[in-house]
C-alpha cells in the first residue's frame, strides 16, 4: 500500500491541502482541484492544469454571446408545442453509445 497523507475535515467540511500534495499537484492559491471518483475512491487532480485555454475560441464565444444578447428572439410557442408533440413518445437514452459514423 502506498503512503497515505492525511488532512482533517472541519465542521464546515473544509480541509487544508498538505504542502506535499500541493507540490505534487502543482496547486497554487486560486486554482481549482478536481475530484475524480473511481468506484469508492477519489483521486485529486489539478483541474486548472487540465483546463484548455484558447484565446481565439474565447474571443469567438464572447462575440457569439454578445450577438445572442443583442439579437435573441423569443422561440415561438407554437413551434415548441409542435416539437414536444412530435417527440412525446420518443425514448432517448443520453448515455447510450453512438453507433455508426458521425460527421461533424
For residue range 9-67, list pLDDT tens digits in order. 999 999 999 999 999 999 999 889 999 898 888 989 998 887 777 778 888 888 888 88
Q: Distance (Å, rounded) from C-alpha 24 to C-alpha 86?
A: 53
Q: Which of 40, 44, 41, 42 is nearest to 27 (CA)?
A: 44
pLDDT class of 104 with cuts at 50, 70, 90: low
Burial class of residue 48 (count of CB atoms within 10 Å of its CB; 0-12, 13-18, 19+): middle
Q: Which three cell numbers stand for residue 89?
A: 413518445
pTM, to two decimals? 0.45
Residue 72: per-residue pLDDT? 73
Q: Distance (Å, rounded) from C-alpha 5 to C-alpha 16?
A: 12
pLDDT class of 100 with cuts at 50, 70, 90: confident
In the chain, where are the structural domains located? 19-50, 55-87
41 φ/ψ angles, rounded to the nearest 5 degrees: -120, 155
Tell me how far the alpha carbon of residue 30 is from its chain's centroid. 18
If one compares 82 and 92, the residue with the highest pLDDT of the two is 82
The lowest-confidence range among 3-7, 36-40, 96-100 is: 96-100
Q: Distance (Å, rounded) from C-alpha 88 to C-alpha 80?
A: 12
If one compares 82 and 73, the residue with the highest pLDDT of the two is 82
pLDDT class of 92 with cuts at 50, 70, 90: confident
60 φ/ψ angles, rounded to the nearest 5 degrees: -65, -45
Amino acid at each position: 500500500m502506498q503512503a497515505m497523507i492525511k488532512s482533517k475535515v472541519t465542521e464546515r467540511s473544509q480541509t487544508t491541502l498538505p504542502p506535499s500534495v500541493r507540490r505534487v499537484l502543482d496547486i497554487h492559491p486560486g486554482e481549482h482541484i478536481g475530484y475524480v471518483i473511481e468506484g469508492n475512491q477519489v483521486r485529486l487532480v489539478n483541474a486548472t492544469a487540465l483546463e484548455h485555454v484558447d484565446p481565439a475560441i474565447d474571443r469567438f464565444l464572447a462575440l457569439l454571446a454578445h450577438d445572442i444578447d443583442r439579437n435573441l428572439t423569443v422561440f415561438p410557442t407554437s413551434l415548441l408545442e409542435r416539437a414536444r408533440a412530435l417527440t412525446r413518445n420518443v425514448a432517448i437514452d443520453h448515455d447510450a453509445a453512438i453507433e455508426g459514423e458521425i460527421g461533424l
